Amino acid sequence: MSSAPSKTPPSASPEFDLDYSVHDFEVEHLPDSTMLFQRIEDALVQEGTVPGGRTLDVACGVGRLASRVRERGGEGWGIEPSDEMLGLSPFVVPRESVILARGIAESLPYRDAAFDRVVCMGALDHFVEPDRFMAEAARVLKPRGRVIIALANYESLSCRVGRPLQSAYWRLRGRTPAGRPYWQTPEDHHHRGTPAFVEALGGDDLVLERAYGLSLMWLFPGWGQLLALLPAPLARAKFNALDWIAHRNRSLADTIISVWRKP
For 212-226, what is the mean pLDDT? 96
Tell me, what's the pLDDT at 127?
A: 94
Residues 195, 251 contacting (CB under 8 angstroms): yes
For the whole model, what pTM was predicted? 0.88
Q: Is the dihedral of CA 234, 236, 237, 242 positive or negative?
A: positive
pLDDT above 90 covers a percentage of the chain that reads 76
Kindly report which listed range (8-22, 115-129, 219-233) carries the lowest average pLDDT score: 8-22
Mean pLDDT of the chain: 89
Tell me, what's the pLDDT at 8?
A: 39
C-alpha distances out from residue 36 to 30, 41, 42, 87, Å: 10, 9, 10, 26
For 106-114, what is the mean pLDDT? 97
Q: What is the pLDDT of residues 149-162, one digit of tens each?
A: 999 999 999 999 99
For 103-124, what is the mean pLDDT? 96
Tell me, what's the pLDDT at 17?
A: 62
Domains belonging to the chain, first-starting first, are 26-261 (3.40.50.150)
Residue 249 has pLDDT above 60, yes or no: yes
- pLDDT band for position 23 (cuts 50, 70, 90): low
C-alpha distances out from residue 22 to 25, 27, 85, 182, Å: 6, 12, 7, 19
For 3-32, what is the mean pLDDT? 56
For 205-233, what is the mean pLDDT? 96
Tell me, what's the pLDDT at 180?
A: 84
